[in-house]
Chain A
Amino acid sequence: MDENIEKNDMLENETPVEEKEELVRIEGLKEYFDIPSGLFKSKKLKAVDDVSFSIMKGETLGVVGESGCGKTTLGRTLMYLYKPTSGKIFYKNKEIKTKQDINNFRLKTTMVFQDPYSSLNPRMTVEDIVGEPLDVHRLCKGKKERKKKVLELMGLVGLPEEHATRYPHEFSGGQRQRIGIARALAVNPDFIICDEPVSALDVSIQAQVINMFEELQEKLGLTLMFIAHDILVVRHISDRIAVMYLGRVVELADADVICDKPLHPYTVTLMSAVPVPDPDTAKSSQRILLEGDIPSPLNAPSGCPFRTRCPIAGDECAIEMPKLEEVEPGRFVACYKYGQLKRTQEENSSQNNSDIEQDKPEQ
């Protein structure tokens, strides 16, 4: 425990020193969908609601949250796959406004999709799939150059050259995801949005793909936005993590800090719900269980969206949504009562730990 705190203190001290260049910044991004609820009436589904953050060059930002919290929509809106309802997106401190800007932005930003089975066209060979972005952006002159580039990309993600003429159905899940990644790398991007790239894969294959992401990031200096629901995976790959709940970012901080000392009550419960692959810890640790399900985003509760399930919600939470504020350097939380839930859990777990130590036979 003490070691962890020391480590975290060190991290906190280090971060402000390393001033990194900002690559992408979003300000007040909103994405509302119209859901018809009558003949002329329609309801607003607030998929992404007032999200602002910036991503530094070369870092990995993890985005976690339950299904339906808007993480995928955030990724897609960021790439202009959906037109944002309002809000601004900056790339290298330049706002993206015109169609030309969007085109240029997409040359530098690509996406890896969740499902390796449905995101590849079954009628195209691997060469065509990986080469398609090159054709769209007219990056290659002639077939020879294209083929050379495609083989180079395939080598980068660890696919043998003879696979170029094969079709997606001939590959296993992990290999398909490699094809998807090769396609994303084709335009030489700075920034890749990975939308649950490993959640459809088995544990052993998942580790291969995660390792590959890390290698590629080192080699090519990529910036990643890693959207996933598996917190252990996100923690492993990310520098910073943003936790989303019902379209809003409720907490944003360094990966280790947010996992070891979460402040927002939702993050606390989320971290305590993660099944730890270690029988002793898993069986002894006390879980904070949430009541009920995530509310429908169509009729989200007033004020803080989490208050209906929050164990420490008070009267002020129902009135207004708390703003995402910087409570410590590099640490943003959107909660009036941040830090209060964690304390009780720490007391519990420290009690438990002492119990286990007493129970454990001497070895």
Chain B
Amino acid sequence: MSELDKEKNTNTSQKATVYKWKRNKRSLIDILLFCALWLVIAGWIVFIVMMLVNKDNYAPNVLIGIIFGVSAAFLCAVIGLGIVMKIIQDKEKHKILESHIEKTDEEWHEDELLKVRNLRTSFFTENGEVRAVNGISFNLNKGKVLGIVGESGSGKSVTAYSIMQILSPPGEVVGGSVKFKNEELVGVSEKRMQKIRGNNISIIFQDPMTSLNPVFTIGNQIQEAILLHTNRTRKQAKARAIELLQLVGINEPEKRLKQYPFELSGGMRQRIGIAMALACEPDILIADEPTTALDVTIQAQILELMQKLQKELGMAIIMITHDLGVIAQMCDEVIVMYAGKICEQGTAEEIFYNPKHEYTKGLLASIPYGSKAEGKLSSIEGTPVDLLALPKGCAFAPRCNNCLKICLEEMPERLVINDDHMATCWMNVLEGLKDGSVVLMEEKENG
């Protein structure tokens, strides 16, 4: 039996405007603080210069000294006020966010680690609000590998950044809930989040060339997390760092600790990134396109390493990638994203062998697999959707070959195909109506 799984239809845009206003005000304070700082510095420079020039006559110097002293005190007061206001605003922000958190009274199961419900993240650009993540929900259980797949701009990385709360200013989480071990992470204080980041949830970034700090040694960067999150001494931290480098398969770990990132190859740097992420034995490892920048043979090494470590340490992995081959090899469960929404989610076998969304079908068909003799690839026509001008109905409808009238008008709801498979496509409703597994509301009332 299939059933329609209804989600709350909340008006995000209204909340977003409130939010935008708050953001502008905060940036004004930033500018004020900046000006005050420079005024004080400039004042002191003028004061010193005047002292040097008028060595004989002290009276004007004293006067100038008093003027700058007073203005400096005034500006310090402004800065102080600014800081206080910032703190107040941050608290307000949290209050607003808290009001946006959807209180879910779902039961918390033992083996659940992460529960994301209706998460929404927007970027407030000059051209308008970009809803990069637009209401996604999923669960992550202990020791599972969850894959998130989609085109560039579909919101895969932003999902990861929203969970970690490492979004940079134009982007902000505007609603929804992320629960880690039954603790709400959206709107939690930065202090608490710092304790969780790297310790409980850690992330491997896409580009090993830019995600390491070029002016610190490898050892310094790995030990940072260990010293921050555990009670180890420096010596113990170093020993742990060496242990980690051995774990990720780097030879001569003691020598490597003293090297800088530029001295290592891409594959080695990604291993360092993994070692850093594993430093505190996290419960969840988020891998944001960990192998995209690497060659196939190195990619195979890294994937094998991640699989081995996942089995040994029993952590859960969120694997973000656009490569369906990587997904097939690594993941137990798969989420397919398009335009900030989940269009299909289920076990890897279900997604690959029984796709129920037109986009997933198109994606699978457009992978070149086989020889030239097998003829043309079936490609998805058109270009990816513009997030600034999302269509009214299903975001994929303009590119869909089997587009129905209703697809252009209304966003389909999530349809449960079976226990481990959900899809958001009107085609399934149509099929369900044909074979009678889906019944229209009116018919239900009448009959």
Interface flag for A327 (CB, 8 Å)? no
Interface flag for B325 (CB, 8 Å)? yes
Q: Which of A203, A236, A289 contacts B370 (CB 8 A)?
A: A236
Interface flag for A202 (CB, 8 Å)? yes
Q: Which residues of chain B are near A279, meaning CB under 8 Å?
A: 328-329, 348-349, 352-353
Q: Which residues of chain A are near B364, meaning CB under 8 Å?
A: 277
* Contacts beyond the supplied A207-B366, A231-B296, A293-B268: 16 A-B pairs with Cβ under 8 Å: A67-B295, A202-B152, A203-B367, A208-B380, A210-B379, A211-B376, A232-B368, A236-B368, A236-B377, A237-B368, A255-B371, A256-B373, A275-B325, A277-B327, A278-B328, A287-B300
Q: Which of B267, B296, B349, B369 contacts A277 (CB 8 A)?
A: B369
Q: Which residues of chain B are near A229, meaning CB under 8 Å?
A: 295-296
What 0/1 pattern do residues 190 to 208 of B give for CB contact below 8 A with A? 0000000000000000000
Contact B381 A214 (CB under 8 A): no
What 0/1 pattern do residues 355 to 373 of B give for CB contact below 8 A with A? 0000000111011111111
What 0/1 pattern do residues 257 to 279 of A give for CB contact below 8 A with B? 00100000000011011111111
Q: How many residues of B contact A (CB 8 A)?
A: 46
Contact A207 B299 (CB under 8 A): no
Interface flag for A102 (CB, 8 Å)? no
Q: Which residues of chain B are near A281, meaning CB under 8 Å?
A: 328
A277→B326 CA distance, assembly (Å): 7
Within 8 A of B (CB), among A277-302: 277-283, 287, 289-290, 293-294
Contact A239 B372 (CB under 8 A): yes
Interface flag for B183 (CB, 8 Å)? no
Q: How far is the CB of B23 from chain A (nearest CB, A)?
A: 27
Contact B322 A275 (CB under 8 A): no
What 0/1 pattern do residues 91 to 126 of A give for CB contact below 8 A with B? 000000000000000000000000000000000000
Contact B325 A276 (CB under 8 A): yes
Contact A274 B325 (CB under 8 A): yes
Contact B298 A293 (CB under 8 A): yes
Interface flag for A354 (CB, 8 Å)? no
Interface flag for B13 (CB, 8 Å)? no
A282→B349 CA distance, assembly (Å): 11
Contact A276 B379 (CB under 8 A): no
Q: How far is the CB of A136 from chain B (nearest CB, A)?
A: 30
A269→B299 CA distance, assembly (Å): 12
Q: Which residues of chain B are near A238, meaning CB under 8 Å?
A: 372
Within 8 A of A (CB), among B116-139: none
Interface flag for B418 (CB, 8 Å)? no
Q: How far is the CB of A332 from chain B (nearest CB, A)?
A: 19
Within 8 A of A (CB), among B163-195: none
Q: Which of B323, B368, B380 contacts A275 (CB 8 A)?
A: B323
Q: Which of B295, B366, B381 contacts A206 (CB 8 A)?
A: B366
What residues of chain A have their CB less than 8 Å away from a CB belonging to chain B? Answer: 60, 66-67, 172, 174-175, 202-208, 210-211, 214, 229, 231-233, 235-239, 255-256, 259, 269-270, 272-283, 287, 289-290, 293-294
Contact B325 A233 (CB under 8 A): no
- Chain A: which residue is nearest B383 at the CB level? A172
Interface flag for B297 (CB, 8 Å)? yes
Q: Which of A208, A255, A273, A278 contacts B296 (CB 8 A)?
A: A273
Contact A277 B377 (CB under 8 A): no
The majority secondary structure among interface residues of chain B is helix
Q: Which residues of chain B are near A278, meaning CB under 8 Å?
A: 328, 352, 369
Contact B304 A287 (CB under 8 A): yes
Q: Which residues of chain B are near A294, meaning CB under 8 Å?
A: 295
Contact A274 B371 (CB under 8 A): no
- Chain B: which residue is nearest A235 at the CB level? B371
Contact A207 B372 (CB under 8 A): no
Contact A275 B303 (CB under 8 A): yes
Contact A270 B367 (CB under 8 A): no
Q: Which residues of chain A are near B99, meaning CB under 8 Å?
A: none
A232→B370 CA distance, assembly (Å): 7
Contact B383 A207 (CB under 8 A): no
Q: Which residues of chain A are near B298, meaning CB under 8 Å?
A: 66, 293
Q: Which residues of chain A are near B326, meaning CB under 8 Å?
A: 275
Q: How far is the CB of A56 from chain B (nearest CB, A)?
A: 14
Q: Which of A236, A239, A277 contacts B328 (CB 8 A)?
A: A277
A255→B378 CA distance, assembly (Å): 21
Q: Which residues of chain A are near B304, meaning CB under 8 Å?
A: 287, 289
A293→B151 CA distance, assembly (Å): 29
Contact A204 B328 (CB under 8 A): no
Most buried by A among B267, B329, B352: B329
Contact B152 A233 (CB under 8 A): no
Q: Which residues of chain A are near B371, meaning CB under 8 Å?
A: 235-236, 255-256, 259
A67→B362 CA distance, assembly (Å): 30
- Chain B: which residue is nearest A275 at the CB level? B325
Contact A255 B303 (CB under 8 A): no
A274→B328 CA distance, assembly (Å): 12
Q: How far is the CB of A350 from chain B (nearest CB, A)?
A: 20
Q: How far is the CB of A304 from chain B (nearest CB, A)?
A: 17
A270 with B296, Cβ < 8 A, contacts A207-B378, A236-B371 known: yes
A237→B372 CA distance, assembly (Å): 6
In the assembled complex, 23 residue pairs joining A and B whose CB atoms fall closer than 8 Å, in A order, are A67-B295, A174-B383, A202-B151, A203-B363, A205-B383, A207-B366, A207-B379, A211-B377, A229-B296, A235-B372, A236-B368, A236-B371, A259-B371, A270-B297, A273-B299, A275-B300, A276-B369, A277-B327, A277-B352, A280-B349, A283-B328, A289-B301, A290-B297
Q: Which residues of chain B are near A289, meaning CB under 8 Å?
A: 297, 300-301, 304
Contact B151 A233 (CB under 8 A): no
- Chain B: which residue is nearest A296 at the CB level? B265
Within 8 A of A (CB), among B258-313: 265, 267-268, 295-301, 303-304
